[in-house]
Structure 1
Amino acid sequence: MKRAPEEHVTDSQSLIENRPPSVATLFLERVAATPEGEAYRYPVPPASGQGPDDWKSLTWAEAAQRVYATAAGLIELGVGPEERVALASSTRVEWILADLGVLCSGAATTTVYPSTNADETAYILADSGSRIMIAEDAAQLAKARECRADLPDLAHVIVIDETAAVPAEGDPEGWVLSLAELEKRGAAYLEKNPSCVKERVAALRADQLATLIYTSGTTGRPKGVRLPHDCWSYMARAIQATGLVNEEDVQYLWLPLAHVFGKVLTAGQIAQGHVIAVDGRVDKIIENLPVVRPTYMAAVPRIFEKVYNGVAAKAREGGGAKYKIFQWAAGVAREYAKVSQDNFRRTGNASVPFGLAAKHQVADKLVYAKLREAFGGRLRAAVSGSAALAPEIGYFFAGAGIHILEGYGLTESSAASFVNPGEAYRTGTVGKPLPGTEVRIAEDGEILLRGPGIMQGYHGLPEKTAEVLESDGWFHTGDIGELSADGYLRITDRKKDLIKTSGGKYIAPAEVEGQFKAVCPFVSNVLVHGANRNFCTALIALDEPTILTWAKEHGLAGKDYAAVVATEQVRELIDGYVERVNEGLQRWQQIRKFRILPRDLDIEHGEVTPSLKVKRPVVERTFKDLLDDMYAGTRES
């Protein structure tokens, strides 16, 4: 049953104004309220290594037993309030339990991506002053060992993978422990001091440091973003207040938990009390969805782009007739979504004309129903964030019955500042501000935010903090956007990413890139370049499985990716899509030249972040020769 708007506003205000000081407090309240309710699901691979995973569950009471044991174990090791405990692991249930253990001990979590190299890991551990490191496996332990001489304050490394928690020659006595050992020590400590964890939680202040998340800088060292307990408590209650999730939901969580987007989802889940199925293996997403059958999940645009390209490629493999049906159905989906959203915006009713509804019904049986089944058949909504989703891809999924609610936020704003409101969502926008968050647009178009989710500042960097955080609490996001009359925000680009050509024209590269992704089913990543140049160019990376399938059908079987993309056939194929995009662009926005990259952009080369966002300066440096070649012989003014 839907609540009246007035009632919803009152509930929202009450939830937020009466929030507890910390998510640790919320966790204790959740355990007391629904101890036998299911909290987490996680996969256990078969011992043989063959066959499907076995999914197991933890109730809130079972989760609490492990969380309290971890917290008590850290207390027994001498960890004090606000002291940092680094957490270097992929997304798995132990990450969540360990993080909660850190928070319940009164300490603060320093998140470290498992893909971070040893040098940068050492910097983060030293800069944060982390006393303990919780490492996932032998690889993360090796990084700590490599830099141990530079980290005199690092007292212990706790290893999640018990088989890897083996002391090596040169390790100080007791320096390496397994997570199981820490929990065992914590359980024994709890027997002697049964109230120690609850006392630590009760002593937590809203302004006390809870998390240090290091932003993946494109130049120089990353900055540690200081997020106090109140940020997470506010986010938990604000997510709850949106009404987008309920206690019956099953959420599939694969996002990196070292990233603020993944971390905020765990806070919202504790407040609402629904189930999270946790598995960070990206290569298992397609396999997991029909098993988990989520009702709600969050992802980054790259995942939806890959699904869209995969569906298009599969249809193409089925022959010309099947591909034509897919293309027709995709067009119907987009038209259906645009008309229904427009009608809902104007009248509050998402109805469409009879003829369009009839076409949509046929397309649903032929295409959309199968697509929904691939997502598990129960997906009510998916939240997309971290980067812009191409509107044409968003409309396709919306028309197919997979409702993608775009949202917006930054590490500095605890991830979730805007989200599209349920039925009233508008593709191409990031929705409305969360209850309690203020927004204004500066004269130059920059988005400014203020509210309880905004960071305290950058760790140990008061000058950098002053550059973005005003004394009255307004945070400068660095993003350019537009607000509609009824409060929907559209992001146009990063302020620093706006291109000004040598002719004085401004271009939002993300807008052009999004349009290209919507028409080209072979693209993986694209970067539009043109700052201080007299025309725009593009670096294009193709999706390897999709282009290799195409290659087999066009006489290029047996060639590897680099050889295939170097052929004139592929250049002509992509040139056709570039021309299609250019038809809808202003002359100064058009892509005049392009180069296909010999490999995709990746985390290992530092070209994309762990949340799959492209680092423009890194890509432009790496492929400078290709960019220069496209402008060779032209006059640059």
Structure 2
Amino acid sequence: MSDTKTLIENRPPSVANLFVERVSATPDAEAFRYPVPPASGQGPDDWKSLSWGRTAERVYRIAAGLIGLGVQSEDRVALLCATRVEWILADLGVMCAGGATTTVYPSTNAEESAYILADSSSKVLIAEDATQLAKARERRAQLPALSHVVVIDPTGVEEDETDPDGWVLSLADLEERGARYLEENPEAVKERIDAIAADQLATLIYTSGTTGRPKGVRLPHDNWSYMAKAIAATGLVTKDDVQYLWLPLAHVFGKVLTSGHIELGHVTAVDGRVDKIIEHLPVVQPTYMAAVPRIFEKVYNGVAAKARAGGPAKYKIFQWAAEVAREYAKATQDNFRRTGKASVPFALRAKHKAADALVYSKLREAFGGRLRAAVSGSAALSPEIGYFFSGAGIHILEGYGLTESSAASFVNPGEAYRTGTVGKPLPGTEVRIADDREILLRGPGIMEGYHGLPEKTREVLEPDGWLHTGDIGELSADGYLRITDRKKDLIKTSAGKYIAPTEVEIQFKAICPFVSNIVVIGANRNFCTALIALDEPTLLGWAQDHGLAGKSYAETVAAPATVELIQGYVNRLNEGLQRWQTVKKFRLLPRDLDVEHGDLTPSLKLKRPAVEREFTHLIEEMYAGARES
């Protein structure tokens, strides 16, 4: 414990300093792998590598190029780009220049992108391609502070006579400028790094927000330096690991992983194309990766659907294996908690061995065959799905944090992990449960405040450093945290009963293999209802064998047979709920919920108000003339 305390307390002022140390320690070691699509557009991607030394050459050129463009200490440089290795190089370049990165999701529309760029007073924008450049061009009149746009992939970028001279340049151009700047000023980047103060702004991340305008969260350099050291102190990741990083780097969860990577010096394979994950996992063969619950839910539903398509016998074997996995996971975790050993009875061990040969081994192969652990965060994972993967040998360590706490405040501790909890606080982070059960956090990872919003900052950040998370939870006697819901999402029925909708929703996801998203409704109503969106591939696979072949998704969800199918799962859900929690009625949505329609945030969190607004007619239909209680 004293070594851990020393490690954290003696941290350098910034990740830029950690990067210099990493490059000095292991210049020839592999830092990154990244895919290069074939020139023909056909066939598998070719994976290339960057050593830490080569990474530093590019990072320092980018930093020097930005200095040459006039970037000063704490000047904002926005990154509007999907997850790719250039995102990380650019972010490190901004930090090494002493600037501050403003992150923008590539899915953000032109209007909101312009709002973030203007609110942050970003001086330079690093845009991924012509599509992202077009957003800045469309709203340039609103962006007087934006002096340059750097385009990572200039393919398809056409000259625009309305652009100011030198307003647009490519990343290659920036690096060439940086190389020339360093020839004339060889100590420029080193001087900038040496001048960085711990409390200097490093990152401005705009919360995707489930309501209203996004708020810019100010995270100083010390936040990331602390996170790097705290992640290393957990012992969950080592220098020998291979990480597959696909999470959005504009989100704090993806961003914090880069800090831990620099501290530990392991290999990170970077590719944000979600549709390529299944293809790339066997190629990358990661030893660990981070994901959001929706990914694990989709994998589980996909495996179940494949088994169902194989016929009744194959599906029965899968269902049996799934129950064995859950039983095995619960037994090992319970025994480890009591005795420190993950032992199970002989009969269960024998069943598990048979199920492993039939089902689990194939599932592990699909993840690359070497996955030691997966970290899940951003939203709650159904414990039943967590137990399934645990029993199958894919250990999902749930964690917890907010943008306002630099993402990683809690994580499950390796072998001692407990499904259904988010684990224990990272070294150096304090937790307290308020009288109303709200979770409060304090420590070196907590934000400085909201950018330009002192009143909003005071609403959540106490003068003594305690952050109000807005989440409701409970701590076990030995320090494991369980999240039960968002404070603002708690439903109070007209009968005065409080209901945690998330708890009901994750129970339904564990029961129903067809569900993609579910929204439980009941605030100020006399009973609960639900809007349910189904997983299209799983549903249409079922439809083939139930007289609905060739029907569209919307036609299939409207079919009486589909409604009857889902009613059966709702009935099963209600059997395990208190009477006032039960879902009396539901409606199947004509499409899935997604980011594009504004139903989900870019980190796949549910925007309840937006969903309820769009489907008001279905909600009112369920409550029309109702007298149930």
Report Cα offsets for 1:157-191 as digits up to 9, x if no partner.
00000224443120001000000000010011111
1:439 correspondence with 2:417? no
| Residue 103 of structure 1: aligned partner | 95
CA deviations 1:221-244 (Å, max 9, x no partner) are 110000000000000000000000
Give yes or no for the alignment of 1:305 onto 2:310: no
> Do 1:533 and 1:636's aligned partners in 2 also have CA atoms closer than 8 Å?
no
Q: Read off the aligned partner of 1:194 and give its amino acid letter.
A: P
> Which letter maps to 2:380?
A
Matched, 1:519 2:511: yes
1: CA distance between counterparts of 2:159 and 2:270? 29
Equivalent residue runs for 1:9-28 within 5 Å: 9-28=1-20
| Secondary structure class of the residue paired with 1:541 | strand
Residues 166 and 176 of structure 1 are in contact (CA less than 8 Å); yes or no, is this contact kept in structure 2? no
The yes-or-no answer on 1:266 pairing with 2:258 is yes
- Partner Cα separation in structure 2 for residue 435 and residue 106 of structure 1: 27
**How far apart, CA to CA, are the structure 2 residues paired with 1:636 and 1:334?**
36
Say which SS state the counterpart of residue 163 (structure 1) adopts: coil
5 Å matches for 1:91-130?
Answer: 91-130=83-122
* 1:372 counterpart (364, 367, 370): 364
CA distance in 2, matches of 1:439, 1:40: 35
Q: Is 1:291–2:263 an aligned residue pair?
A: no
Match of 1:230 among 219, 222, 225: 222
Question: 1:623: which partner in 2?
Answer: 615
Which 10-residue stretch deviates more, 9-18 or 243-252?
9-18
User: Which residue identity lines up with residue 248 of structure 1 in the other structure?
Assistant: D
The offset of 1:520, in angstroms, is 0.5
Answering whether residue 545 of structure 2 is matched by residue 548 of structure 1, we say no
> C-alpha deviations, 1:249-307, integer Å up to 9, x for none?
00000000000000000000000000110000011111110110000000000000000
Give CA-to-partner distance per residue, 1:334-363, whole Å, 9 cap, x none: 000001100100111110001000000000
Q: Quick check: 1:162–1:180 contact (8 Å CA) kept in 2?
A: no
Unaligned runs of 5+ in 1: 1-8
C-alpha distance in 2, partners of 1:411/1:164? 34
Alpha-carbon shift at residue 635 of structure 1 (Å): 4.3
Distance 2:411 2:260 in 1: 14
Q: What does the per-residue CA deviation read over 1:4-44, in whole Å, with 9 as the maximum and x for residues that have no partner?
A: xxxxx122111101100000100010000000000000000
Aligned-partner Cα distance in 2 for 1:463–1:613: 25
Report SS of the residue matched to 1:152.
coil
1:48-197 alignment runs, 5 A limit: 48-197=40-189
Q: Which of the residues 331, 337, 341 maps onto 2:323? A: 331
Q: How far apart, in 2, do the equivalents of 1:383 and 1:164 lie?
A: 38
Shift of residue 152 of structure 1?
1.1
What is the CA–CA distance in structure 1 between the aligned matches of 2:411 and 2:4, rounded to whole Å?
15
Within-5 A mapping of 1:162-561: 162-561=154-553
CA distance in 2, matches of 1:534, 1:291: 53
Q: Deviations over 1:107-135 (max 9, x none)?
A: 00000000111111111001000000000
Q: For residue 533 of structure 1, what is the amino acid of its counterpart? A: R
CA distance in 2, matches of 1:10, 1:17: 10
Alignment-mate amino acid for residue 469 of structure 1 = L
Q: Which amino acid aligns with 1:297?
A: M
Scaled by the length of structure 2, what TM-score is found? Answer: 0.99
Instruction: Give the Å deviation of 1:636.
Output: 8.9
Amino acid at match of 2:351: K
Give the TM-score normalised by structure 1: 0.98
Residue deviations 1:45-72, cap 9 Å, x none? 0000000000000000011111000000
Query: Does the CA-based 8 Å contact 2:77-2:100 persist in structure 1?
Result: yes
The one-letter amino acid of 2:504's match is V
**Identity rate, percent:** 79
Describe the SS at the equivalent of 2:219: strand
Which deviates more from structure 2 when the two are superposed, residues 175-184 or residues 627-636? 627-636
The question of whether the paired residues in 1 share the 8 Å contact of 2:210 and 2:606 is answered with no
Contact preservation (8 Å) 2:79, 2:125 = yes
SS at match of 2:150: strand
Partner letter of residue 285 of structure 1? Answer: I
Report the equivalent of 1:6.
none
Give the unaligned 5+ runs of structure 2.
none
CA distance, structure 2, for counterparts of residue 609 and residue 596 of structure 1: 21
| Cα distance between partner residues in 1 of 2:28 and 2:228 | 21
Q: 1:561-580 counterparts in 2 under 5 A?
A: 561-580=553-572
In the alignment, residue 569 of structure 2 is paired with which amino acid?
A: Y
**Offset at residue 144 of structure 1 (A):** 0.3
RMSD, matched Cα: 0.8
Aligned-partner residue type, residue 619 of structure 1 = V
| Farther-moved stretch of structure 1 (571-580 vs 627-636) | 627-636
> Partner letter of residue 63 of structure 1?
T
Separation in structure 2 between the aligned mates of residue 169 and residue 562 of structure 1, nearest angstrom: 46
